[in-house]
Structure 1
Amino acid sequence: MIVHFEPASEEGIATVVRAMAADRASLAVIGGGTRSGLGNPVRADRVLSTRRLTGIVSYNPAEMTVSALAGTPLSEIEATLAENRQMLSFEPMDHRPVFATTGEPTIGGVFAANVSGPRRIIAGAARDSLLGVRFVNGSGDAIKAGGRVMKNVTGLDLVKLLAGAHGTLGILTEVTFRVLPKPPSSETVVVSGLNDAEAAAVMAEAMAQTVEVSGAAHLAESVRSRFIGGCLPDGAATVLRLEGLPASVSIRAEKLAKALERFGAVTRLDGERTAVLWSEIRDVKPYADGTERPLWRVSVAPSAGHQLVAALRLQTGVDAFYDWQGGLVWLRMEADPEAALVRRYIKALGGGHATLVRANDGFRAAIPSFEPQPAPVALLSERVREKFDPQRIFNPGRMQIVS
């Protein structure tokens, strides 16, 4: 992707947008370009990157809030937080392995795509940590919404609307977000040998325990050996993460292991192996295989995930594993994405949404990458977009407003 504009200021971005709007030219907006394979492949007239708009504007460890320019590398944010034993609670995924892209993930890109990892089940999505934004709309106006402290909820709905809009409403130039203390210790309880339905029941049981599980995933036998160097015990692995003070983690892990031993063989992973495992779950390591085999990110009710996979396996070749207590299903298809089939079964199981994360250009051109919205919601989305981007210049091919 050839970058035509790399403004180093908000005013520079606004100037570019005003020129594009005057010419009725379309504009693809990227941060580090790490998710360039997402969405339907529609060629924009120009490409704008925010990668030169960098720097941490303010950071107050005591108040646990950060303001940063949108192009600031995610690695810089995380390194700064680590110095104060703090973290981004929502564990944003690194999409580079799945897309086989290079570049540097940016904090603006994380919030624009609402990128959320395993801890979402207790900490919420990226948008839930976002307190305020500055952005440039489709008319080239710079707008501020929200504030720097949690109790200031002015413009909160607008802030949440920008998070997950994939750059279709405006170009984020600055984000303000809350952070949390980094747990000093962690362990993972592993229950081995369960099938998908049994694992769903065990994860529900674990989440109901008073042990504060911060991650719940099921790694089917087909993918289990691809995690932490194949060091997980034999059989499918249902993995449950606990975090906190060392003594507390040890006691809670022992309690959880005892409660679950009736379901299957139980083992425990130490903090080092826990960190590796959950980063690999977060980044979908089994399917970061350098191919274009279709990959779906499916969000459904936790009790419905395994039912969806079972139904699909009767009809087509599919591999899968589960995060978010079974509510996030990563589906890799062998050949055809089978979009109609996937979305029909999701609807039959009570609803949800499926995003075609990866496929070759032919499939991406023919299949809506984002879940088609019901007519009333689609109409509302179009009205919102008309207010923010009346000329429809931003990010053709990424039509979803809320993710």
Structure 2
Amino acid sequence: MRRTGLWVFSVLFLAAFVQPPTTYYRSKALHIRVPDFDSGRKEYTIRDDHGQPMSVIAVKGTDGLPYWYRRIFTPVCLTGECRPIDVGIYWHFSGKYLGIEIFREPLTKTDHSEFSPLDYDRLEDILQNEWSDLREYTAEELVEPTDKTPSETQVDGVTGATRKVISEAAVKDAVYTTHTIWHLIHVGEPEQLALIALSEVAGNPTLAHRLLATGDTGNRDFVLRGVIDGHLHADPVIEKSILQGLGAEDHAFRDLAFKALGSLNLSSITLQEDLSKVYPQLEAGEKIRLLTALEQANRLHRGLQDVLTTEFTADAQPQPWVLIKILSIIRQTGSTLTEAERERISRLKTDHTALKKALNDFFSSHK
């Protein structure tokens, strides 16, 4: 009988560790995209806040996209009075924070009371902010020096006088917990994960196509920045996204598209045909950006050249520096003008000193 009792106890003891831990909180984003840990997981090593190696795994989400995951059991304060936390952290493939899961027991405050739903909402808002004031402080710096006055501090039941700026950037009465989780997510990890992801995408371009197909602005910007920084090659799918960005209402998308334009093969007749449709819709400053990119082209195709020379008509009211850029590109590419194009340019009258000089130089070389 006693042996049976010991056997039952052993089974229950082992089950406590074999059974999956209770999940006390899961970010709303994860309710939609809970990663599939059994599909294509791969482990990588990056560095934590202190430069120590740590493991993250790439997992495939239920939407078929790759995500990053790390699970860690860690203390959250220096006194030993705070309960450790068991947290799973998820990042988008781009390195941007996605969500967390809290295991074993709920998060608690300095008086050991549990986080309320509003506390978790507040925590999520804080974790979404990658430039929080929490970035500027180590755990040792969360408490004010003793020469500070009470009005400049906020008393924390465990830690003493907490810096006011930190208190305002954290869940009330949970400064150390907030600081710990935020630092696990944001200090160095996103940049390292993004570089690994770019390396993976460079070796598998279809990953970039899948990220663009999501319609998620973070994924799109991640791919375009990869092109701008020279990590990714702009294939036809990425090129299409860049062209869409040139006319987008989203100013951030538009700006990235113009920056990425210089990475394309601007001598391509197909691309120049597309640019000839975009160009007339652009503002003067954006025309300058497009023309600056075109300076690397070794040929100006007929369709785009016709659109550019139309700028010299009287009703176009072009900016002088736009016309100067166009003249420079025509000269640089050695393009031959049609009679109609030559007439358009030659009939332009201007008092702008730089443009007048550019016109004289242009016709001196285009007899």
Which protein has the bigger helix share?
2
Larger Rg belongs to? 2
Q: TM-score range by the shorter chain?
A: under 0.3
TM-score, with length taken from structure 2: 0.26
Which protein has the bigger strand share?
1
Greater RCO (CA < 8 Å, at least 6 residues apart): 1
